[in-house]
């Protein structure tokens, strides 16, 4: 009522002022138009229509919706192998929890050992034991409300010994990626690897028998040439075809309906056109990602600003296309020979994730190990820096994460 009264009074005063100054002609009426507020295209009812899988499980649809909503106010913090990889091999809670008292909001896992040629699914097999450990961790994370994401360091199809191009012959590098495409000599081999992934994902179930949603990020960092699926070893069209085949096979042939699909180059791009040069299309991607270590590697605020500009490209595209933007891998590894960078987390990274009105749903740090760490435990020099960063307004560990697998009431 008060607002309506003020508007009416403003119009009346304006009209009177106009009339008093224009005695020889009739005054035009003054019309006040409120600014147009654009409606958010994403609703709890239409979420599935923006997803790769329109028939995704309700928990997977809720995860998409909640990740998209979360990015408006917070960025979830995660780590690869958080429950199993510890600095100096000190077991127990994740290193994030050792530092902050809270679990990570995101757990990163890898299909590498699960699809390894040496995994024979026998109880005494080391690779199968790793599979069982990963499955157990994913289930435990889901039960706590943590987001699960998988990458895939797939061994090359010839000898299946490495995923690094440097370990391959020139001929192998030239032919390997093409060989897994439909009609290629190793397409059946590749389908068997996807069969294994489908089997594992379809057996990830919560306490009520519901399928656990996972983010799957195949063929990552493809703009570099350190992996055998890198830019030097396939054309943009071949890359797109492989990504599309992977999604179609899991979704349509295997009937997997609890995956969100992530697309993530490294940090080589500086424009949207460059970023999208190998993009398989909106029908095949839920999460617009980037891996970025280089811009944060002793480049100070200049590097932070470069990272922010690249994340803004992701964020703007995600806003326009109703996708989710994420920093799918990052970090600065501290070792006995590489000291920590002052305020790396609380200033450099945080600014990159929050400046210029960008919306980034989650950030993933790589794993800690015996000799070094990406996330400081509570006993190292930059522990306070990480704790400060994780408690900032736009950061989220599990304690400030909303219920990701339920639609808000």
Catalytic residues: 221, 329
- Measured CA to CA, the distance from residue 4 to residue 360 in angstroms comes to 38
Name 263's bridge partners: 288
Give buried/exposed letters for 341-355 (b at 16+ CB in 10 A, else e).
bebbbbbbbbbbbbe
β-strand partners of 290: 327
Residue 110, token pair as written in the block: 């890898």
Q: Residue 56 has which token pair?
A: 């995704």
Q: Which residues contact 390 (CB under 8 A, 6 or more apart)?
A: 77, 96, 99, 100, 102, 345, 397
Rg value, the chain, Cα:
25
Size (the chain), residues: 409
DSSP state, residue 156:
P
Helix (H) or strand (E) holding 318: helix 300-321
Q: Which residues share a beta bridge with 169?
A: none
* Residue tagged 């490294």 (tokens): 266
Tracing tokens 């050792």 back to the chain, one arrives at 98
Beta bridge partners of 287: 262, 324
Residue whose structure tokens are 């960025």 = 75
What is the token pair recorded at 44?
Answer: 């709890």
């Amino acid at each position: 009522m008060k607002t309506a009264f003020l508007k009416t009074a403003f119009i009346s005063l304006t009209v009177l002022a106009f009339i008093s100054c224009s005695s020889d002609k009739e005054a035009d009426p003054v019309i006040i138009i409120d600014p147009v507020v654009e409606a958010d295209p994403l609703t709890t009812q239409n979420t599935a229509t923006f997803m790769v899988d329109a028939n995704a499980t309700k928990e997977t649809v809720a995860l998409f919706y909640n990740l998209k909503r979360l990015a408006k106010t917070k960025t979830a913090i995660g780590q690869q192998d958080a429950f199993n990889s510890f600095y100096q091999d000190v077991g127990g809670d994740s290193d994030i929890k050792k530092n902050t008292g809270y679990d990570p909001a995101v757990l990163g896992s890898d299909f590498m050992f699960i699809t390894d040629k040496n995994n024979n699914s026998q109880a005494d097999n080391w690779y199968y034991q790793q599979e069982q450990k990963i499955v157990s961790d994913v289930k435990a994370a889901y039960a706590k409300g943590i987001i699960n994401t998988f990458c895939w360091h797939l061994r090359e199809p010839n000898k299946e010994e490495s995923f690094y191009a440097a370990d391959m012959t020139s001929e192998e590098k030239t032919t390997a990626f093409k060989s897994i495409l439909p009609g290629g000599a190793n397409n059946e081999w590749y389908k068997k690897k996807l069969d294994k992934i489908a089997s594992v994902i379809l057996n990830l179930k919560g306490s009520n028998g519901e399928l656990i949603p996972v983010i799957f990020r195949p063929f990552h960092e493809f703009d570099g040439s350190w992996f055998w699926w890198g830019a030097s070893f396939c054309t943009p069209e071949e890359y797109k075809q492989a990504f599309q085949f992977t999604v179609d096979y899991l979704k349509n042939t295997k009937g997997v309906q609890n995956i969100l699909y992530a697309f993530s180059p490294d940090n080589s791009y500086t424009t949207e056109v460059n970023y999208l040069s190998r993009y398989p299309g909106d029908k095949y991607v839920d999460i617009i990602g980037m891996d970025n270590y280089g811009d944060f590697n002793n480049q100070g605020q200049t590097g932070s600003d470069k990272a922010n500009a690249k994340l803004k490209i992701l964020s703007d595209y995600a806003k326009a296309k109703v996708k989710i933007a994420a920093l799918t891998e990052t970090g600065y590894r501290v070792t006995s020979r590489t000291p920590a960078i002052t305020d790396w987390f609380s200033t450099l990274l945080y600014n990159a994730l929050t400046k210029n009105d960008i919306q980034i749903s989650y950030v993933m740090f790589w794993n800690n190990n015996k000799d070094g760490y990406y996330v400081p435990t509570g006993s190292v020099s930059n522990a306070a820096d990480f704790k400060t960063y994780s408690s900032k307004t736009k950061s989220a560990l599990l304690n400030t994460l909303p219920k990701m697998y339920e639609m808000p009431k």
